[in-house]
Chains A and B, each alone.
Chain A
Amino acid sequence: ISSNALSVSTETVICFLSFDQAEQFFRSGHTNNWAVLVCTSRFWFNYRHVANTLSVYRSVKRLGIPDSHIVLMLADDMACNPRNPKPATVFSHKNMELNVYGDDVEVDYRSYEVTVENFLRVLTGRIPPSTPRSKRLLSDDRSNILIYMTGHGGNGFLKFQDSEEITNIELADAFEQMWQKRRYNELLFIIDTCQGASMYERFYSPNIMALASSQVGEDSLSHQPDPAIGVHLMDRYTFYVLEFLEEINPASQTNMNDLFQVCPKSLCVSTPGHRTDLFQRDPKNVLITDFFGSVRKVEITTETINLQQGSEIMESSYKEDQMDEELMEPLKYAEQLPVAQIIHQKPKLKDWHPPGGFILGLWALIIMVFFKTYGIKHMKFIF
């Protein structure tokens, strides 16, 4: 109880801002960061797509975005897959150097939940009301959103779990919906698939910057296989992006131009592309941490606020709780298998429903046809 009181007082100290400091706080663009990371491939041989997504997840968490602001969608489970020789791990470097799965991972959409419909619903915010908070993208007009997608794709589409596709037009329309509903301040879209540049060709909403691992007509290639696990561990583009991000810390001033240079054709074999015409700021003024990190602006002052002693309030509420009703007769536990009672219980009759409109109509039709054919004189034999 004492620790609660002390922590409340320190929070009040930090949140106390003066007026012009508050103005400066809001001038710099975005106030919160979100990330939507999607892996669309199923099956064990697509291990590298899950490893791609998890390495971006790891970087984004390391740079400050909390789990509550990350929507992670993994279409298949590689870590606890029976074919994984090291359960609960997903490696990105061969010889098992780096476990990107970690101990503290929160997968929001997994397995069969990763569908085009769910992805678009997350982006546009049109989710059924009973969706839990961790599965929602609760962004506002001051949010910078990072969207990373990986999987198998082609010219103008991205394949979801081998059963459906999302086209670049659908994606562009979804982003336009997000813009109309003011669900983002700036959006960074990264895609690592074959012919990835085709996915950002159709964007038409402002403030979107896009990167892709290969141009139209090119394939994105995988990096290196691990003989112990038996599959390719990462794709080349994301592998070099991960290496680049490992050197970023929350205070670094690296800008987007450096990210565009990651993975030249000599390393990646495909030509990574980018699109900045919809983006209002110059890429060299955009920090990597604007999208990958969550740098919160905090103003610390030395003024203090004295709190009233809340101990009497807590004491009285405790005494109230103590006055639970003491029941008159003792309670007992239920019998787990009351054989006699079960044998003699009657099954509940199913509720009787009156015949539906269709059946009534059908019978009316049959009777009408009969009387029309044979005349009304037969009625007296029926009634």
Chain B
Amino acid sequence: MAAAMPLALLVLLLLGRKGWCLAEPPRDSLREELVITPLPSGDVAATFQFRTRWDSELQREGVSHYRLFPKALGQLISKYSLRELHLSFTQGFWRTRYWGPPFLQAPSGAELWVWFQDTVTDVDKSWKELSNVLSGIFCASLNFIDSTNTVTPTASFKPLGLANDTDHYFLRYAVLPREVVCTENLTPWKKLLPCSSKAGLSVLLKADRLFHTSYHSQAVHIRPVCRNARCTSISWELRQTLSVVFDAFITGQGKKDWSLFRMFSRTLTEPCPLASESRVYVDITNYNQDNETLEVNPPPTTTYQDVILGTRKIYAIYDLLDTAMINNSRNLNIQLKWKRPPENGYIHYQPAQDRLQPHLLEMLIQLPANSVTKVSIQFERALLKWTEYTPDPNHGFYVSPSVLSALVPSVVAAKPVDWEESPLFNSLFPVSDGSNYFVRLYTEPLLVNLPTPDFSMPYNVICLTCTVVAVCYGSFYNLLTRTFHIEEPRTGGLAKRLANLIRRARGVPPL
């Protein structure tokens, strides 16, 4: 009897759950996605987004049943009457010039901006308490946020979620640029995810790979969104985003082949059972031309095309919830490979050795048409030994001109040259085929102004020193070694004086 009762209990609950599935739709849902974007500079950017949507009114008291939406954040929203919360931790800087525009950029350090509900009476007090609570949750020094680094923007940072009126009095914004992001901030961020780091895309989130990057940004965004198309009721959306940029040289060892294993040292094994959507998008826009093809392995079954950030992009989709995706190999490792080797075929560099040999730099480059290529080299100026200066050092020192040897495609194909028949000006450079011609060009020599010492200074110093020594030492010497006699004042005419002068010069006693 006792054994049968628990069994009955179990059965009832299971049936009950199935019944509820038919009666009402799930109240919260999780979508996770990873976007892999090969960047123009050879690096690779990976952006994770985990979005939990909860169809509930959190303003009401007594909400105690949390399923996918983390309880820590749900309690924050109800206790401090938040309308929106955006918190990000970033290390590094997004280099738009080399990487292109970002999906979502964040400033270096920690950034927190919050919209409070208009029922809040003392916004500053709530703001201070909220930053203290967040510092405990995320193990960061957010408690340093106070009135000295908080502002109330009046025009920007409009709410990203639903808003009927925007009185900027309820907005607060603060940035802590000195804040460091490390594993202790990633760990509580991962714990907010429904599947933690056990299943789905979050198994890739390992600290030792994620922090070995040029750019690391993790953020939490909470905002109210429309529940349905008619937008008559509110759902709360929690988005957790993490963007990293893997450096081609540090992580990729200079090669442009990327795979999930090389980036994260892990592969995807199974989707998160709590997720309603779990996808990986790979940007394959730029790499379908004939010159260089990017090969994506395993080949995608579906693609997605849209205008993103102003340009048309194509993404390959890998759906983890699709059973065919992971079935055969039990893990998914997406690989991106270049089919053609990169253009820079040959570089030879021989650094200089002081007073032995000069720098030598030789490069073989293939230049694309209608383009400008700049080659620059940095150098430092050093001081030479004083004997190595030329007599006119202020003129500068010459660096030999650079040489450009080029094979230029001809507009019109020429026929091969017969040495003896053709004029002399046409037979300087031997050509193998007529489709291009060889030319050797030189740049101007470079005149470099080296730091020149003042060569007259030693002479000046010697004169000055000798004068001082002579005056001081000489005076002392005279005082110490000469005896002084009192001389009678002599009267005498001019002739007698002149005669005494001459006698003194001769060494004879005077008159």
Residues of A participating in the B interface, judged by any CB pair closer than 8 Å? 1-2, 5, 77, 79-80, 86-89, 101-108, 110-113, 130-135, 306, 309, 311, 314-315, 317-318, 321-322, 324-328, 330-338, 342, 345, 347-348
| Residue among B56, B129, B141, B159 making CB contact with A334, cutoff 8 Å | B159
Q: Mark B410-453, 1 if CB is under 8 A from A, else 0.
A: 00000000000000000000000000000000000000000000
Query: Roughly how many angstroms separate A332 CA and B288 CA in the complex, as a whole number?
Result: 40
The distance from the CB of B84 to the nearest CB of chain A, in whole angstroms, is 10
- Which residues of B have CB within 8 Å of A133? 136
Q: Are B188 and A88 in contact (CB under 8 A)?
A: no
- Which residues of B have CB within 8 Å of A332? 162, 164, 231
Give 10 nearest A-B pairs by CB, closest first: A132-B136, A80-B182, A87-B211, A2-B13, A334-B163, A88-B211, A130-B132, A330-B231, A88-B207, A107-B184
Q: Are A309 and B12 in contact (CB under 8 A)?
A: yes
Query: Roughly how many angstroms separate A130 CA and B57 CA in the complex, as a whole number?
Result: 27
Q: A326-B232, A328-B232 provided; 17 other pairs, C-beta below 8 A?
A: A5-B13, A77-B180, A80-B183, A80-B211, A89-B208, A101-B183, A103-B187, A106-B139, A106-B187, A107-B139, A108-B139, A113-B143, A134-B139, A314-B65, A330-B226, A330-B231, A334-B159
Query: Of all chain B residues, which has the CB nearest A84?
Result: B211
- Which residues of B have CB within 8 Å of A348? 154
The distance from the CB of B130 to the nearest CB of chain A, in whole angstroms, is 9
Query: Roughly how many angstroms separate A307 CA and B232 CA in the complex, as a whole number?
Result: 40
Whether, in the assembled complex, B355 has its beta carbon less than 8 Å from a beta carbon of chain A, the answer is no
Query: Of all chain A residues, which has the CB nearest B235?
Result: A324
The distance from the CB of B97 to the nearest CB of chain A, in whole angstroms, is 22
Q: Are A324 and B233 in contact (CB under 8 A)?
A: yes
- Which residues of B have CB within 8 Å of A110? 139-141, 180, 184
Query: Of all chain B residues, which has the CB nearest A82?
Result: B91
Query: Of all chain A residues, which has the CB nearest B162?
Result: A331
Q: Mark B450-480, 1 if CB is under 8 A from A, else 0.
A: 0000000000000000000000000000000
27 contacts between A and B (CB under 8 A): A1-B13, A2-B17, A80-B91, A89-B208, A105-B184, A106-B188, A110-B141, A110-B184, A111-B141, A111-B178, A112-B144, A113-B144, A130-B133, A131-B136, A132-B132, A132-B135, A135-B135, A309-B9, A314-B65, A315-B16, A321-B57, A321-B63, A322-B24, A330-B230, A332-B164, A332-B231, A334-B158
Whether, in the assembled complex, B155 has its beta carbon less than 8 Å from a beta carbon of chain A, the answer is yes
Query: Of all chain A residues, which has the CB nearest B16?
Result: A311
The distance from the CB of A135 to the nearest CB of chain B, in whole angstroms, is 6
- Which residues of A have CB within 8 Å of B139? 106-108, 110, 134
Q: Are A77 and B182 in contact (CB under 8 A)?
A: yes
- Which residues of B have CB within 8 Å of A314? 65
The distance from the CB of A181 to the nearest CB of chain B, in whole angstroms, is 23
B residues 204-262 touching A (CB-CB < 8 Å) = 206-208, 210-212, 226, 230-234
Q: Are B141 and A347 in contact (CB under 8 A)?
A: no
Q: Are B17 and A1 in contact (CB under 8 A)?
A: yes
Q: Mark B122-157, 1 if CB is under 8 A from A, else 0.
A: 000000110011011101110110000000001110
Q: Are A103 and B136 in contact (CB under 8 A)?
A: no
- Which residues of B have CB within 8 Å of A111? 141, 178, 180
Q: Are A333 and B163 in contact (CB under 8 A)?
A: yes
Whether, in the assembled complex, B404 has its beta carbon less than 8 Å from a beta carbon of chain A, the answer is no
Query: Roughly how many angstroms separate A140 CA and B130 CA in the complex, as a whole number?
Result: 27
Q: A103-B183, A108-B139 are in contact. Are A327 and B158 (CB under 8 A)?
A: no
Residues of B participating in the A interface, judged by any CB pair closer than 8 Å? 5, 9-10, 12-14, 16-17, 20, 24, 27, 56-57, 63, 65, 91, 128-129, 132-133, 135-137, 139-141, 143-144, 154-156, 158-164, 166, 178, 180-184, 187-188, 206-208, 210-212, 226, 230-234
Query: Roughly how many angstroms separate A101 CA and B16 CA in the complex, as a whole number?
Result: 45
Q: Are A342 and B155 in contact (CB under 8 A)?
A: yes
Q: Are B65 and A317 in contact (CB under 8 A)?
A: yes
The distance from the CB of B375 to the nearest CB of chain A, in whole angstroms, is 30
Query: Roughly how many angstroms separate A211 CA and B59 CA in the complex, as a whole number?
Result: 53
Query: Roughly how many angstroms separate A311 CA and B9 CA in the complex, as a whole number?
Result: 10
- Which residues of A have CB within 8 Å of B178? 111-112
- Which residues of B have CB within 8 Å of A347? 154
Query: Roughly how many angstroms separate A333 CA and B163 CA in the complex, as a whole number?
Result: 6
- Which residues of B have CB within 8 Å of A345? 154-155
Q: Are B207 and A103 in contact (CB under 8 A)?
A: yes
Q: A318-B24, A332-B231 are in contact. Are A130 and B183 (CB under 8 A)?
A: no
Query: Roughly how many angstroms separate A321 CA and B61 CA in the complex, as a whole number?
Result: 11
Query: Roughly how many angstroms separate A328 CA and B231 CA in the complex, as a whole number?
Result: 10
Query: Roughly how many angstroms separate A1 CA and B13 CA in the complex, as a whole number?
Result: 8
Q: Are B129 and A130 in contact (CB under 8 A)?
A: yes
Q: A1-B13, A2-B10, A311-B16 are in contact. Are A80 and B180 (CB under 8 A)?
A: yes
- Which residues of A have CB within 8 Å of B20? 315, 318
Query: Roughly how many angstroms separate A86 CA and B212 CA in the complex, as a whole number?
Result: 7
- Which residues of B have CB within 8 Å of A318? 20, 24
Q: A131-B132, A334-B163 are in contact. Are A87 and B208 (CB under 8 A)?
A: yes
Query: Roughly how many angstroms separate A306 CA and B231 CA in the complex, as a whole number?
Result: 45
The distance from the CB of A327 to the nearest CB of chain B, in whole angstroms, is 5
Query: Roughly how many angstroms separate A347 CA and B506 CA in the complex, as a whole number?
Result: 102
- Which residues of A have CB within 8 Å of B233? 324-327
- Which residues of A have CB within 8 Å of B156? 337
Query: Of all chain A residues, which has the CB nearest B24?
Result: A322
Query: Roughly how many angstroms separate A321 CA and B16 CA in the complex, as a whole number?
Result: 18
Query: Of all chain A residues, which has the CB nearest B129?
Result: A130
| Residue among B12, B136, B161, B212 making CB contact with A134, cutoff 8 Å | B136
Pick the most buried of B13, B17, B166, B188: most chain A CB atoms within 10 A of its CB.
B13
- Which residues of B have CB within 8 Å of A86? 208, 212
Query: Of all chain B residues, which has the CB nearest A341?
Result: B155
Q: Are A330 and B232 in contact (CB under 8 A)?
A: yes
Q: Are A335 and B136 in contact (CB under 8 A)?
A: no
The distance from the CB of B498 to the nearest CB of chain A, in whole angstroms, is 82
The distance from the CB of B59 to the nearest CB of chain A, in whole angstroms, is 10
Query: Roughly how many angstroms separate A123 CA and B129 CA in the complex, as a whole number?
Result: 22
Q: Are B164 and A88 in contact (CB under 8 A)?
A: no
The distance from the CB of A315 to the nearest CB of chain B, in whole angstroms, is 8
Query: Roughly how many angstroms separate A327 CA and B187 CA in the complex, as a whole number?
Result: 39
- Which residues of B have CB within 8 Å of A328? 232
Query: Roughly how many angstroms separate A103 CA and B265 CA in the complex, as a whole number?
Result: 15
- Which residues of B have CB within 8 Å of A106? 139, 184, 187-188
